[in-house]
Amino acid sequence: MIDLKKKKILVTGAHGFLGKHLIKNLLEKRQVPKENLYTPTANELDLRNFENCKKAAKGQNIIIHLAAIVGGIGFNLEHPGIAFYDNAAMALNLLEAARQEGIEKFTGIGSVCEYPKEIPMPYQEEDLWSGYPEETNAPYGLAKKFMLVQSQAYRKEYNLNAIHLLMLNLYGPGDNFDPKSSHVIPALIKKIEDAKKEGKNYIEAWGTGKPTREFFYVEDAAEGIILATEKYDKVDPINLGSGKEISITELLELLCELMSFKGEIRWDATKPDGQPRRFFETSKAQKEFGFFAKTDLKEGLQKTIEDYKNRNKI
């Protein structure tokens, strides 16, 4: 097991949604000295540039690579080139810099979007290469999959201890509520609150509401990543999640209940649903490094709603 208190750690994406929770965990739960954490912003260090990655990796022991260009279905449909190039370039450069600088451990964060569209549920790590990803998310998912291939290749040739963690829809306090780029939970919370504010007796939602998703509370995700960094040293990718699925209809009804909205839900079936089902088999993470998600969905949603209201002074 790695004692993180004694390591110099580069965290990319440290100022993003997941990154802020991970940094808080490192400082408060792991008691990593603040001076041991290097947390450059995207403006300070463009990771699509190799020389910047070399500069960032120099003198570090561990890299936790969270940085990503990511959004919901709308973003992925509108910006497939950005979703592919930016994410692939960051990982490509950072792993090569890690190799050249002799980094002790590289933790790469992958995505559920790496999984094929047509495989049995729940998603199991062994099925990762059984087909092509769902089309709307494929450029982003394949960019992340490139990072997995590179991690495994560098482990084999250069003995770089690089691990790859597969994650899915995160939610929680501090989430992105911008309707142009937000994921489903923050987007729906904003829609409901806006409808209440405007006195509407209905809300409109994309698709049919039939697809199912698994939602992963951000504080649980941060804990899982840190546990894997401390304890997991194998070549195989690992699913991190809650292991529970819910339909978008049930999710929206639960949010309406928690937010005391009694209006009608109007589904716009001309908009894409995305993949029909998505949820993880998570037993491997528990077996390999003792991780399981602790936060119930209803509890996590309530905290997310409260955070949104506090930030918008509602």
**Where in the sequence numbering do the catalytic residues fall?**
140
CB 125 within 8 A of CB 237: yes
Handedness of CA 216, 220, 224, 226 (dihedral sign): positive
120 preceded by a cis bond (ω within 30 of 0):
no
How far, in Å, CA of 105 to CA of 108, rounded? Answer: 10
Structure tokens belonging to residue 72: 């919901």
What tokens does 296 get? 């119930």
CB–CB of 26/9 below 8 Å?
yes
CB 115 within 8 A of CB 128: yes
Cis previous bond, 276, omega within 30: no
Question: If 0-12 CB within 10 Å is exposed, 13-18 middle and 19+ buried, where does residue 3 land?
Answer: exposed
Is residue 235 within 8 A of residue 152, CB to CB? The reply is yes
145: phi then psi, degrees, rounded to nearest 5: -70, -35
Task: Give the pair of three-digit tokens for residue 134.
Answer: 């769902």
